[in-house]
Structure 1
Amino acid sequence: MAGELEGKVAVVTGAASGIGLASTKAMLAAGARVVTVDRDGAALKALCSAHGDAVIPLVIDLLDPTDCATLLPRVLQSAGQLDILHANAGAYVGGDLVDADSTAIDRMLNLNINVVMKNVHDVLPHMIERRTGDVIVTSSLAAHFPTPWEPVYASSKWAINCFVQTVRRQVYKHGIRVGSVSPGPVITALLADWPPEKLKEARDSGSLLEAGEVADVVMFMLTRPRSMTIRDVVVLPTNFDL
């Protein structure tokens, strides 16, 4: 895919690890400049050291409304334009609802829903003015199935899946494509809340995805002809249903 995103500027939230990091590396390999957004300044600095000026680090606490609102102005100040937003930052709360911490629920819903909506809301005027742009949101297989072991997380992804599909229908006339990638369980820090026995079973059975495999799907979506929108891709390990 070398050169397929040449001249493009992408923003990836949650870029310091997991799917966000893999997506960042894939876009860099395709020739894009990537504005990496995360709270982990040390990890972003390491990315810059590895990839040079193609990486533009932005340390932003997306859960701070004032800080979150600086995303687009800072992107335009440092890169001049925005072609791609990969709204990837997210959190996970699993287990029985009665055992969930209410503060953790608030944080997860804010990050998985409110922040995504605000980020997309803020970048759309710029994309509309330029009459082009791609927005991809990291959703989840949980957006398509009422997963009994993660009612809070699954609900957040159902909500954002509805958001993606409705906004897509509002902005396609401006040349903007909006879609989501919905992976099954991926080997990232978000699985830290999984019960150990469930995580071991999934690993042993080959029922987990690698972050790079999800990034490959993101690149597939971004590199289709402009006349084609990939509205949602559900990706799961072949052995997941065993």
Structure 2
Amino acid sequence: MSDLHGKVAVVTGAASGIGLASTEALLTAGAQVILVDRDEAAVASACSKLGGNAIPLVLDLLDAKACASMIPRILETVGKIDILHANAGIYVGGELVDAETTAIDRMLNLNVNVVMKNVHDVLPHMIERKSGDIIVTSSLAAHFPTPWEPVYASSKWAINCFVQTVRRQVFKHGIRVGSVSPGPVVSSLLADWPEEKLKEAKEAGSLIDPTEVADVALFMLTRKRGVTIRDVIIMPTNFDL
């Protein structure tokens, strides 16, 4: 296992939930972290608590121009990117017939298109340096058809395919690509869950803490360079009850 001192990491959706937990884990491991989020107040609050190695970058990834500016702005600021944790995402659950089509567009754009664009934009830099790590926050929903969230699950199935195919393209450049696929995590993404389902999950111990997901991401990043963890599914022990 290697530490991350001297590494520069970028985490999207970094102001809360898995993104914030990942940021904290990376900082503890010695990395400098760029926190990318659209919530200016939350990013500023996080960085004020996390110290000088936490650098805020406030932008809305759903804005195409802002999204395209992310990697160039980071490289201009810190000079290199060793790690990209593409974590930003949103959730649409429930019956498909009840979903708003604008919400579907927004979710697919952030969960799929933005991830692809962020990875696309960072690859030339990593290929030139012949090194890099890319981790994508996927979901347990990427691995089986989840009947209560067809829109969200479909976005994660797409991302699972993207991760596994891009990984095969870029490993020859010294770049590792993998995903972490958590079951239900205590985060803002669960705000759209039906109240009775959320209550049932909490009472059954079927939710995990974001720090558990961050620990998995850190495990993936700290393997020797000849080892790639391509995907880790992490879920509450009681989830299958």
TM-score by length of 1: 0.98
Q: Which amino acid aligns with 2:101?
A: S
CA separation in 1, counterparts of 2:188 and 2:219?
A: 24
The SS at the match of 1:70 is: helix
Correspondence for 1:57 = 56
CA separation in 1, counterparts of 2:36 and 2:80?
A: 16
How much does 1:52 deviate?
A: 2.3
Correspondence for 2:115 = 116
Structure 2 unaligned residues grouped into runs of 5+: none
CA separation in 1, counterparts of 2:72 and 2:18?
A: 25
Correspondence for 2:29 = 30
CA separation in 1, counterparts of 2:45 and 2:95?
A: 37
Correspondence for 1:99 = 98
CA separation in 1, counterparts of 2:95 and 2:230?
A: 31
Correspondence for 2:196 = 197
Q: Greater CA deviation, 155-164 or 51-60?
A: 51-60
CA separation in 2, counterparts of 1:48 and 1:204?
A: 33
Instruction: Report matched runs for 1:5-154 at 5 Å.
Output: 5-154=4-153
Correspondence for 2:157 = 158
Correspondence for 1:220 = 219
How far does the alpha carbon of each residue in 1:33-62 deviate from its partner, in whole angstroms, 9 at most, with x for none? 000000011111112211222011100110
CA separation in 1, counterparts of 2:48 and 2:154?
A: 38
Check if 1:181 corresponds to 2:184. Answer: no
Q: Which amino acid aligns with 1:236?
A: M
Q: Which amino acid aligns with 1:100?
A: A
How much does 1:93 deviate?
A: 0.2
Identity %: 75
The SS at the match of 1:69 is: helix
CA separation in 2, counterparts of 1:22 and 1:236?
A: 16
The SS at the match of 1:208 is: coil
How far does the alpha carbon of each residue in 1:176-210 deviate from its partner, in whole angstroms, 9 at most, with x for none? 00000000000000001111111011000100010
Correspondence for 1:232 = 231
Q: Greater CA deviation, 46-55 or 107-116?
A: 46-55
CA separation in 1, counterparts of 2:51 and 2:199?
A: 38
Tell me the matched-pair count.
241
TM-score by length of 2: 0.99
Q: Which contiguous aligned blocks of 4+ residues in structure 1 show a shift greater than 6 angstroms?
A: none
Q: Which amino acid aligns with 1:170?
A: Q
CA separation in 2, counterparts of 1:19 and 1:107?
A: 20
CA separation in 1, counterparts of 2:67 and 2:23?
A: 20
How far does the alpha carbon of each residue in 1:60-90 deviate from its partner, in whole angstroms, 9 at most, with x for none? 1100000000111111111110000000000
CA separation in 2, counterparts of 1:182 and 1:62?
A: 22
Q: In 2, are the aligned partners of 1:56 and 1:78 still within 8 Å (CA)? A: no
Structure 1 unaligned residues grouped into runs of 5+: none
Q: Which amino acid aligns with 2:185?
A: V
Tell me how large the CA RMSD over aligned residues is: 0.9
CA separation in 1, counterparts of 2:178 and 2:211?
A: 18
Q: Which amino acid aligns with 1:202?
A: A
Q: Which amino acid aligns with 1:173?
A: K
